[in-house]
Structure formats: structure tokens, C-alpha cells
Structure 1
């Protein structure tokens, strides 16, 4: 298992390099720049700024300068937010983004597993149809639209929950963002659990357990749940990475102090360093989560062995 993990890490290095290269040149070749504004800067000021951020160097030289900094763990300074480095901005926003993403991950995973198991047990009955309809609504409607709808309903009309902002320690400010993030994730988990559970409940060893007089709850807990979770585990890694990256839009809609605020502002203002630093961070998160999922898959299924 250790050798497999090491090979996966070595395989991930070219992926990270390709991602950095593609993003770097796309950002540099796109129209506009970090110092373009409605009012043009004096030529001397622009020249000094470009020299300070190495923008006066040839493009290939800028690439190798940035790549050398990344290998040293330095993502460079922010070109828009003065006196802030990219690493500093990421360290400010990342804890909140991780907290929001993991909260939605836990809520969506638990709710999806319960909904999928209930729908499988009650197959082709009204609970199954109701849960499938709720799941489809959560998957089909985009996050930004659903966020505006719940803000309008629960925040403006009913005034039960705040529509935006965040106060440290306040759970009320997290209810709507976590709900919006967890809906599509929980819907996908529910669909996977439902389909897998229906297949497992039709196997011979489950029929044998029923013939011995075991109850439905005991059959689900002892015989059906673990094999039914295999497709879910395969999805959890990409699902968590989707929640962490999808939280960028939700953070912007609800005005939350996560990485999303910095990332979207950096993309609009052509802050090359912050956009690249955030992209590299998410690539590392996705690769790490996929590795963890592979290890969990081997634990759940004894037939899976990595050599």
C-alpha cells in the first residue's frame, strides 16, 4: 500500500506541472493586466510596477521565476492587494472554506446515505418517489440560483435566518450556505446508495439472511450497507473536492470570508499570483482526496489489492 501511494504521488507531479504551465500562460496571454484601470498610471509608475513584479521580463523567464518560487513554497505577492502575499491571503481564507466545505460534506453524505437507503428499501413506493424528486431538484438547480431562492424565502420573507455575512461562532450564518452546498452532494450520494443498495438487496446472501428470519434493519447494518457503500466511496473524493471548489460561488453569494472572495476578486482584477496560488492549492486537494479514496476503497473491498 505504501508503494502504491508513493507511485501515485510521483504520478501527480507531472499533473501539477501541467496545471501550473497551462494556467500561467492562459492568464498572461489573456487581455488586460493587474494594473489596468479606468485611469491610466503614469509611465514611470507603470515601469516600476512591472519591474517589481518581473512583468518586464520575457514571458518564458517569468514562468521559470514563478516555478522556482513555487518549488520553494513561495506563491509570490498579490499584485492587487498591497502588502499581502498570496500565501498569507490563502492562510486567511482557507480555514473558513475548509470548515464550510467539510460541514456540507458531512451533512450531505449522511443525509444522502439515509435517503438512498430508505428509497431502496421502499422501492417503487411513495417514499421512493418523493425522495427521488427532492434529489433531482437538488441536482438540477444551480447553486447560485438555489442560494438566491433560499435567501429570498428564509431570509427576506420569513426572516428566520441571515441572508449573508458571517459572525464568528454564529451557526445561524452557516445554515443556508451549508444547505446549498450539501443539496447537490447529498442528491448524488442518495442516487448512488439507492442504486447500489437495490442491487445488493437482490443478492443471494441477502435472501439467505431474510430466510433465516433476520429483520430489515439488521440485514441493512450487517450485510447490505458495507458493499453498497463502494460506489459512494469512489465518489466521495471528487465530491469533497467539488464542494471545496463549488464553495467559491456560494461564498461570494453569501458574502462569506473564504477563499472565494479573494479568488473571484483576483480573477476580475487579473491578480496572476493569487489566481495561480488558489488553483495550485485546489489541484493538491483533489489529488490528495483521490489518494485517500483509493485507500478506503481497498479497506471496504477485500478483493481490491494494489500492487
Structure 2
């Protein structure tokens, strides 16, 4: 298992390297620069600033300098927050983004698995139809629209919850952002769990268990849930990465102090280092999550062996 994990990591690193390279040159090819503003800098000041950030070097030399810094663990300075490096800004915003994403992940996964099981057990009955309707809303409507509607209803009209902002230690400010992130994720998991559970309940070993007189709860707990979870687990890795990257937009909508605020500001201000650093972090995170999913497969399905 350890050798398999090592091979997977080594095979994924070239993909991350290619993605960072493509992102680097696309950012440089975009019109504008990090120091373009309504009030232009004096030429001598602009020349000093460009020299400080190595922007006066040829493009390929800038690329080599950046890759060399990444290999040393240095993501470089931020070009929009002048007193901070990219690593420092990520260290400030990442804990909140991880808290938001992981909270939504746990809630959405639990709700999605339970609703998928209920829909499968009551297939083609009113609980199934009701859950499918709620699920389809979460899949079809984009999260930024759901976020705006929840802000309007619960934050402005009803005044039940804060419409935005953040107060340290206040759970109320997390309810709406977590609900927006969780809805689409729970909807996808519910659809996967429903289809997988229906297929599992029709297998021979489940029918055999029922013929032996086992109750429906015992059949679900002992024979149906574990194999039905296999397709769901395959989605959890990309799903968690989707939640963490999707939180960038949600954080901006609700004015939360996560990494999304820094990333969007960096994209608007052409902060090359911050955009590249965030992209690299999420790529490595996705690689790690997919590896964990592959390892969990071996536990859920004894037929799976990594040689």
C-alpha cells in the first residue's frame, strides 16, 4: 500500500508542474499588470518596483526564478499586499477556509447519504419524489444565486441570521455560507447514494439475507450500506476539493475572511504570486484527496487490491 501511494504521488507531481507552468504563462499573457492603476507611478519608481519583483527579467528567467523558489518552499511576495508574502496570506486565510469547507463537507455528506438511503428504500413513493425535487434544486441552481437568495430572505427580510460579515466565535455567521456550500454537495451525494443503494438492494446476497428472515434495518446495516458507499467514496475526494475551491466565491459573497478574499483580489489586481500560490496549493490538495479515496476503496471493497 505504501509503495502504491508513493507511485501515485510521484506520477501526479509532473501534472502539477505542467499545470503551474501553464498558469504562469497564461497570467503573464493577460493584459495589464500588477502595478497598472488610475494613478501611474513615476518611471523611476516603477522601474525599482519591477526590479524588486523580478518583472524586469525576461519571461523565461522569471519562470525559472519562480520554480526555483517553489522548490525551496518559497511562494514569493504578494504584489498587492506589500508587507506580506504569499505564504503568510495563505496562512491567515486558509484556516478559516478549511473550517468552512470541512464543516460543509461533514454536514453535506451525512445529509446526502441519509437522504439517498431513504429515497432508495422508498423508491417511487412520495418521500422519494420530495427528496428528488430538493436535490434537483441544489444541482441546477448555482451557489452564488442560492447565496444571494438566502441573504435576502433570512438576512434582510426575516432578520433571522446575519446577511454577511464575520464575528470571531459567532456560529450564526456560518449558517448561511455552510448551507450554500452544503446544498449542491449533498444533492450530488444523494443522487449517487440513491442509485447505488437501489442497485445494491437488488443483488442476490441482499435477497438471500431477506429470505433468511433478517429485518430491513439489519439488511441495510450489514449488507447494503457498505457496498453502496463505494461510488459515493469515489466522489468524496473531488467533492471536498470542490467545496474548498467553491468556498472562494461564497466567501466573497458573504464577506468572510478566508483565502477566497485574497485570491479574488489577487486575480483582479494581477497579483501573480498569490494566484499561482493558491492554484498550486489546491492542486496538491486535490492530489492528496484522490490518493486518500483510492486507499479507502481497499477497505470498502475487499476485491480491490493495489499491486
Instruction: Please state which band the TM-score falls in when normalised by the shorter chain.
Output: over 0.9
Distance in 1 separating the partners of 2:272 and 2:286:
21
Distance in 2 separating the partners of 1:260 and 1:217:
43
> What is residue 184 of structure 1 aligned with on the other side?
184
Summarize the alignment of residues 99-248 of structure 1 with structure 2, pairs less than 5 Å apart.
Answer: 99-248=99-248
Deviation, 1:210, is: 1.3
How many residues are matched? 307
Deviation, 1:122, is: 0.1
Classify the secondary structure of the residue corresponding to 1:90: helix
> What is residue 46 of structure 1 aligned with on the other side?
46
Deviation, 1:213, is: 1.8
> What is residue 59 of structure 2 aligned with on the other side?
59
1:299 aligns with 2:299: yes
Distance in 2 separating the partners of 1:164 and 1:27:
31
Classify the secondary structure of the residue corresponding to 1:54: coil
Normalising by structure 1, we get a TM-score of: 0.99
Deviation, 1:16, is: 1.3
Distance in 2 separating the partners of 1:257 and 1:289:
24
Deviation, 1:141, is: 0.3
Deviation, 1:204, is: 1.1
Deviation, 1:119, is: 0.2
Deviation, 1:205, is: 1.2
Deviation, 1:168, is: 1.4
Unaligned ranges ≥5, structure 2? none
Classify the secondary structure of the residue corresponding to 2:196: helix
Runs of 4+ in 1 over 3 A off after TM superposition: none
Distance in 2 separating the partners of 1:134 and 1:195:
16
Distance in 1 separating the partners of 2:240 and 2:212:
39
Unaligned ranges ≥5, structure 1? none
Classify the secondary structure of the residue corresponding to 1:229: helix
> What is residue 77 of structure 1 aligned with on the other side?
77
Distance in 1 separating the partners of 2:300 and 2:100:
27
Distance in 1 separating the partners of 2:305 and 2:176:
41
**1:78-98 deviations in whole A, cap 9, x for unaligned?**
011111000000000000000
Normalising by structure 2, we get a TM-score of: 0.99
Deviation, 1:55, is: 0.3
**1:117-160 deviations in whole A, cap 9, x for unaligned?**
00000000000000000000011100100000001111111111
> What is residue 22 of structure 2 aligned with on the other side?
22
Classify the secondary structure of the residue corresponding to 1:156: helix
1:289 aligns with 2:285: no
Distance in 1 separating the partners of 2:265 and 2:98:
19
Deviation, 1:217, is: 1.1
Distance in 1 separating the partners of 2:40 and 2:171:
45
Distance in 2 separating the partners of 1:301 and 1:134:
31
Distance in 2 separating the partners of 1:218 and 1:178:
33
